[in-house]
Amino acid sequence: MAEALIEIQNLKKYFPITGGVFKRVVGNVRAVDDVSFQINKGESFGLVGESGCGKSTIGRTILRLLDKTDGKVVFKGEDIHSLDKTKLRSIRPKMQIVFQDPFSSLNPRIKVGEAIGEALIDHGLCSRSEVKNRVIETLKICGLAAYHYDRFPHEFSGGQRQRIGIARALIMNPDFIVADEPVSALDVSIQAQIINLLSDLQQEKQLTYLFISHDLSVVEHLCDRIGVMYLGSMVEMASKEEMFRNPLHPYTKALLSAVPIPDPTLRRERIVLKGDIPSPANPPSGCKFHTRCPLATDICKKETPEYREVEKQHFVACHLV
Ligand code: SF4
Break the chain down into helix, strand, coil percent, rounded to 5. 35, 25, 40
Kindly state the average pLDDT of the residues 270-280: 83
- Top mutation candidate among 277, 295, 302 for ligand 1, by most atoms within 8 Å of CB: 295
Pairwise pLDDT comparison (240 vs 268), residue with the higher score: 240
Q: Whole-angstrom Cα distance, residue 236 to residue 104?
A: 33
How far from 89 is each of 6, 85, 92, 95, 99, CA to CA, in Å? 17, 6, 5, 10, 20
Find out whether the beta carbon of 305 lies less than 6 Å from any atom of ligand 1. Answer: yes
pLDDT exceeding 70 applies to what percent of the chain? 98
Find out whether the beta carbon of 320 lies less than 6 Å from any atom of ligand 1. Answer: yes
pTM of this structure: 0.92
Find out whether the beta carbon of 286 lies less than 6 Å from any atom of ligand 1. Answer: no
Selection from 49-58, 66-75, 214-223 with the highest mean pLDDT: 66-75
Ligand 1 centroid distance, CA of 317 (Å):
8
Q: Whole-angstrom Cα distance, residue 162 to residue 28?
A: 34
Q: pLDDT digit string (tens) for 87-102?
A: 999 999 999 999 988 7
Kindly state the average pLDDT of the residues 41-48: 96
Cβ atoms < 10 Å from Cβ of 227 = 25
Q: What is the pLDDT of residue 1?
A: 65
| pLDDT over threshold 80, residue 268 | no
DSSP character at residue 64: T
Q: Whole-angstrom Cα distance, residue 185 to residue 53?
A: 19
Selection from 10-24, 141-155, 269-283 with the highest mean pLDDT: 141-155
User: Band of the pLDDT at 187, cuts 50, 70, 90?
Assistant: confident
CA angle, corner 216, sides to 321 and 10, nearest 5?
A: 60
Q: What is the pLDDT of residue 258?
A: 79
